[in-house]
Homo-oligomer: A and B are copies of this chain.
Amino acid sequence: MTPRQNRQRDRGIPEATVARLPVYLRALTGLQEREVATVSSEELAAAAGVNSAKLRKDLSHLGSYGTRGVGYEVEYLVYQISRELGLTQDWVVAIIGVGNLGRALAGYGGFASRGFRVAGLLDADEAIVGQEISGKTVAHIDRLEEMIAEHGVSIAVIATPAGAAQGVCDRVVASGVTSVLNFAPVVLSVPEGVDVRKVDLSIELQILAFHEQRKAGGPGDYEPVAGGGEDPPGPAQYVEAVEA
């Protein structure tokens, strides 16, 4: 159901495509740095880690079809994706919670280069308030609402301990912020119309563990489960066609 709703709301771009656009953009920026002017769908797909049919379909949602025998013009595609993602304008971000992760995020080069401007750092710990980190002075969390209004913060990055995250989230939402990036290890409840994305730093490690295990010969205690079995040809075939 969600894809159909998103499709209407987002003028035809499926959520899964939206999630891949930043990956394409990262690959394209790498090409730009090496002064590559055009790229074939195969090359770009390989750089982004998807197959080229999926890449071409994703880009067709942006009205970008490339030129046969030439491929895609890197600079124009960077512009198209950036515009589609909303990166051609600046986004004002506040980082709440200035522990190690908050500090890492405050100094993260990948934010500024994508149009994310960190307007403020906030923390509840008096020992941290007043410290200067990456050129910003940490403000007390009491000043949260004031800072959101003053700087026009549109995205709140929550990097507090788990126990503090929902309270902070409620306050930023009450102040009119409708986008929240959550690094705290907790599921946040928000009213409709507010988008929350959660970053779990262990997910990529789990995917690595899967492959590492396979290299070592598969799960030691694996027993085929009734109805499961080794690589059932029907469904696997179907999923491959669907997800490749």
User: Which residues of A pack against B, CB within 8 Å?
Assistant: 1-4, 7, 9-12, 14-19, 21-23, 25-26, 30, 51, 57, 60-65, 80, 83-89, 91, 93, 99-101, 103-105, 107-111, 114-116, 154-155, 157, 178-181, 185, 187, 193, 195, 197-215, 218-222, 224-232, 235-236, 239-240, 242-244
With A11-B231, A228-B62 in contact, do A110 and B195 touch (Cβ < 8 Å)?
Answer: no
What is the oligomeric copy number?
2
Q: How far apart sit A239 and B108, CA to CA, in the bound complex (Å)?
A: 34
Q: Decide: B212 and A155 in contact? CB cutoff 8 A.
A: yes
Q: Which of B86, B155, B212 contacts A178 (CB 8 A)?
A: B212
Task: Name A228's contact: one of B63, B103, B116, B201 (CB within 8 Å).
Answer: B63
Complex Cα distance A47/B154, Å?
25
Choice from B205, B206, B215, B219 contacting A25 with Cβ under 8 Å: B206
Chain A to chain B: the 10 pairs with minimum beta-carbon distance, closest first: A63-B228, A86-B213, A63-B225, A12-B231, A100-B104, A101-B104, A110-B202, A100-B103, A22-B206, A197-B204
